[in-house]
Structure 1
Amino acid sequence: MDESSEPQLPARQLPTHQLPDYVLKELAEAREILEHRGIADRLTEMLGAPITASIKMLPDSAEKAIYGAVDKSLSLALDFAVNTLGDKDPVAPKPRLFSHKLMAGLSGAAGGAFGGATIAAELPFSTVLILRSVADIARSLGEDLTDMESRLACLEVFALDPGHSPGKSSNVEDDTEIGYLAVRLAMGRQIHEASQHVVKHGLTNKAAPPLVQFISTIGKRFGVVVSEKLAAQAIPVIGAVGGALINTYFIDHYQNLARAHFTIRRLEREHGAALIQAAYRSLPRK
């Protein structure tokens, strides 16, 4: 069901004070991940220098290459989400997060050794690897991936980097809204319409408006994150070891976002979306 279509009462009319303390603790922990420390902050901390300076060093041709690779990667990820994620046992095994990080590190080592020229080959692999990891986390938190909207919610994670607030995104116009919930609201109808299209028509026409809009919204936000990652890998002293570490940070970042995102979705199923979202908004800001 489209989350944005659920009736919403004003927060003051909802009994958020009746939620158990452990629920509020889970919400607070999830919001800390979803509203703070985007990948640029993590990479800046690791490298000891602002990533923004490195981005300015990228050649003008890099942006076209990055967004071309992002489009290709998300198209491949959509195929994977639609055709593969629902095939496994809905009773989730323990997420294979470490093995996914190891594979991401090996992929990043190639990117660090050979530079931005590898992005067209490396990014699709990394993106699908992250998606597999996100799907494992989703299953472990109770998502039924036989449901198409749940599968597309795995792709939604690529749009959730908190370093890119709604005010910086052309897809979300309300700067007063909390970032994560604004993205959820903006993408809720897109996910619903894209899932309905896929259920009826499959992926025979990826140029169909519901699919184009859904992937475009994710791509604009994911592309900025990929630019930051590539800028870090392009620093001459990074090399293969640094590239591996950056890619490990990259997948770890999206694993954390997925864990927070699907924790909130689980709480919404248990207590109601309106109540959980009101409680999320009412949590004290740091």
Structure 2
Amino acid sequence: MSKVINVRLPDVAREELAEAKRVLEHHGIADRLTEMLGAPVTASLKLLPDVAEKAVYRAIDKSLTVALDVALRTLGNDSIRTGKPRLLTHKLLAGLSGAAGGMFGGATIAAELPVSTVLILRSVADIARSEGEDLSEVETRLACLEVFALDSGNQSRVDDDTELGYFAVRAAMAKQIRDASQYVVKYGLSNPSAPPLVKLVAKIGERFGLVVSEKLAAQAIPVIGALGGALINSYFIDHYQDIARAHFTIRRLERTHGQALVQATYEEME
């Protein structure tokens, strides 16, 4: 950090960074759902019956595994497209997916969650491209998947009961992303159950599961219905779109001004 002493980000960059930090550190999905439902939404997968908890974890693992496959096989195909990200299109499709979850409850999670997750991933990739990312690079596509691990806005706690901020989560994810990227570059996608890929999915799943549990708690309300389920899924994708904008804004600033300066400025901001 000594190299960035007495060096200051330009005012415009500082404003962008401050907004990104506001989203990343103070903007959890539980707050959105509480506003929508008029009552606090708190949930833990560990409060579910064992059978239900296992089913949810299987759905989360399947969703992230499918998303990883999509990220590595197809996201690069959109790397030459220009223009604004298609956020509304993805949000509408996610809403249609969520309608089934609201109508039929938790029984549909195995079918609905992978669809929602892939829709979110494609929207995240669209945002990444709009911020100057090269989706033909494996690391960039995995950075899109990383967004599912970046929900620290409500200071959710993982199994070790440790609170992690944005840069701490990125640091914790760095080895898994590096190992997975190197594996894919060297061996391709012939073995999706290879340890580097499985470890990456598991690491992301630790934090993604916290958000999924809050989503399920809201959808489990008996009167929520199809319309409410669609709205919850719209909030779900909107939440990750916000995180993606913040994440890839910071990565853009890092490419321009250097990671050390951006991180130091981020950490000194209140």
TM range (shorter): over 0.9
Does 2:219 correspond to 1:229? no
What residue is the counterpart of 2:92 in the other structure?
102
Does the CA contact (< 8 Å) of 2:79 and 2:134 recur in 1?
no
Cα shift readout 1:129-149 (whole Å, capped 9, x = no counterpart)? 000000000000000011100
Does the CA contact (< 8 Å) of 2:99 and 2:227 recur in 1?
yes
Could you tell me the TM-score, scaled by structure 2's length? Answer: 0.94
Matching residue within 158, 165, 169 for 2:148: 158
Report deviation, 1:105: 0.7
Does the CA contact (< 8 Å) of 1:93 and 1:140 recur in 2?
yes
Unaligned segments of structure 1, at least 5 residues? 1-8
Write the distance in 2 (CA, Å) between the matches of 1:48 and 1:37: 17
What residue is the counterpart of 2:179 in the other structure?
193
Report deviation, 1:35: 0.5
Does the CA contact (< 8 Å) of 1:16 and 1:279 recur in 2?
no
Does 2:158 correspond to 1:169? yes
Does the CA contact (< 8 Å) of 1:92 and 1:136 recur in 2?
no
Does the CA contact (< 8 Å) of 1:74 and 1:219 recur in 2?
yes
What residue is the counterpart of 1:48 in the other structure?
38
- Which range moves more in the overlay, 67-76 or 43-52? 43-52
Does 2:101 correspond to 1:111? yes
Write the distance in 2 (CA, Å) between the matches of 1:246 and 1:282: 34
Report deviation, 1:96: 0.7
Matching residue within 183, 187, 205 for 1:219: 205
Write the distance in 2 (CA, Å) between the matches of 1:209 and 1:172: 26
Report deviation, 1:47: 0.9
Residue identity over aligned pairs, in percent, reads 68
Report deviation, 1:93: 2.8
Does the CA contact (< 8 Å) of 2:27 and 2:154 recur in 1?
no
Write the distance in 2 (CA, Å) between the matches of 1:94 and 1:203: 30
What residue is the counterpart of 1:93 in the other structure?
83
Report deviation, 1:60: 4.1
Write the distance in 2 (CA, Å) between the matches of 1:33 and 1:53: 21
Matching residue within 14, 18, 40 for 1:24: 14
Does 2:112 correspond to 1:122? yes
Does 2:27 correspond to 1:37? yes
What residue is the counterpart of 2:126 in the other structure?
136
The AA in structure 1 aligned to 2:63 is S
Q: Structure 1 residues 245 and 16 mapped into 2: Cα distance closer, same or farther (>3 Å)?
A: farther
Does 2:191 correspond to 1:205? yes
Write the distance in 2 (CA, Å) between the matches of 1:56 and 1:193: 30
Could you tell me the TM-score, scaled by structure 1's length? Answer: 0.89
The count of residues paired between Structure 1 and Structure 2 equals: 270
Matching residue within 111, 120, 135 for 1:145: 135
Unaligned segments of structure 2, at least 5 residues? none
